[in-house]
Amino acid sequence: QNTLFIFSDEHTREITGCYGDPLVKTPNIDRLAENGTRFNYAYTNSPICVPARASLATGRYVHDIGNWDNGHPYYGETKGWGHRLMDLGHNVTAIGKLHYRAEEDPTGWSKEIETLHVVEGRGAVSHCVRPRVQGMSTCANLSADAGRGESTYSQYDTSTTANAINWLKNEAPKHTDKPWTLFLGFVLPHFPLRAPEKFYDMYPDVPGPRLYDEKDRPTHPAIKQLSIIQCYDKYFTPEKVKIARTAYYGMVSYLDHCIGQVLATLKAAGLDENTRIVYTSDHGDNLGNRGLWGKSCMFEEAAAIPMIISGADIPKGKVVDTPVSLVDCYQTLIEGAGEKLTDEETSDMPGHSLIDIANGDTPDRTVLSEYHAIGSSTAAFMILDGDYKYVHHVGMRPQLFNLATDPHETTDLAVHPAMSVVLEKCEAKLRAVVNPEQVNDRALAGQAEMVERHGGRVAVLAQGHFGYTPAPGEEPTIGH
């Protein structure tokens, strides 16, 4: 079958109707879940854009490919599912946000249409400066920009939608010899937190963030350090918190509206019967919970993502608790195009086909997320073990949560002596996949090398930092 792969940016899983949010309006995403299979425990492989997207492209973990942060953009150095499908004669087209190094790089596309890549082919080299001790001035922009109205991002998604509709109408009929794959990269609901008026006005009374009072915020040193560097909340008033969260809800609904237009075109073109649809996101957004905004940590709001797949061979209305992650998309897209997986793809790579998992396969593997980027003082690694979520911080104490009894992660069990056996088991499970200390050293060395390549720490910090990658035609807002 063909595959329409819809990839949003910064969509936290819980703010989706089919994942239980009673307020947000996401009828098109919800309909995908009704007609397909929804994964309850889906995770990014790194809660920040560039590393997550590199893992998606290659089916490899970040520590395997070295795309540590937003200053290490993917340029095709590790071949991915796009290269494999193209070698087998399939058309693989990308529309919208990719966030790779540059369109000229051989990153696995037959064609790119108005794609968005990192700034100047370098990305955020300032992300490579670790450790940092001062907050970033650009954090003030998150609250200042929040509000009601169009943004360059909502306009870019409008254009991306139009390009997708045009492709399905006019290009898809040209590719009938072998199944095609269309990658559709939306930028919403990534900040700036502005929603078109109609969609902002759908939410007159959104809930406030959880654990927002100072007394309820995390005391873990890694999280406290993150909040110092990514000091977004410093600039928020109670009124701005409400505006920002209202805008996010509106942005999710506008994203859903765009998805609905694409799916309607797919159906009108008669392609829905032989096209498999995948919807997911690169990571989530803390959205004020615990006083945190953006992503960059392992709490569910940032690390958990929606993951839905539908198609003729996918069970309808099914909900799967087997943990999955972005690397699983590699095998999904190869198998989905009707091709056989190689021995390497079945045994030496961490991913497993979501098609197989939706149909009952329960692979014996550990789903991993890791973080080495801006705001982190040390590497963080996250795994699941049954009901437990374990977060390993190199050189610091771990975190442990029971997602079954405490889905909002209000109580860190790692501080309780009675949990020592569970912690030991989780750490052993993590170390069976990765050596945390070794990887932390490699990440720091790779980042230091990148900083030196661009003139050294002082020079890189003097160049400033931009809060988000601008849409095509927009200049980045530089701060320090």
User: How many angstroms separate the CA atoms of 388 and 416, rounded?
Assistant: 14
**Rounded to 5 degrees, what are φ and ψ at 245?**
-70, -35
The token pair that represents 25 in the structure block? 């309006």
Helices and strands (DSSP H and E) totals, the chain = 16, 18
Say how far residue 4 (Cα) sits from the centre of its chain: 18
| Identity of residue 57 | A
- Mean pLDDT for back-to-back runs of 10 residues, the chain (480 residues): 98 98 98 98 98 98 97 97 98 98 97 96 90 84 96 97 98 96 98 98 98 96 95 97 98 98 97 97 98 98 98 96 98 97 94 98 96 96 98 98 98 97 98 98 96 92 82 77
What pLDDT does 479 receive?
66
**Rounded to 5 degrees, what are φ and ψ at 318?**
-90, 145
Contacts 24+ apart (CB under 8 A), 458-467: 460/125, 460/126, 460/128, 460/129, 461/126, 461/129, 463/125, 463/126, 464/126, 465/124, 465/126, 465/136, 465/138, 466/119, 466/124, 466/138, 467/138, 467/139, 467/141, 467/142, 467/191, 467/192
Overall size of the chain counted in residues: 480
What pLDDT does 133 receive?
73
CA nearest to 115, candidates 67, 82, 69: 82
| Identity of residue 462 | A
What pLDDT does 2 receive?
98
Q: What angle do CA 255, 261, 262 make, to 5 degrees?
A: 90
Report helix, strand or coil for 381: strand
CA distances from 119 to 71, 409, 470 (A): 10, 35, 8
Helix 238-268 with 27-34: angle, nearest 10 deg = 50
The pTM is what? 0.97
Instruction: Kindly state the greatest CA–CA separation across the chain.
Output: 63
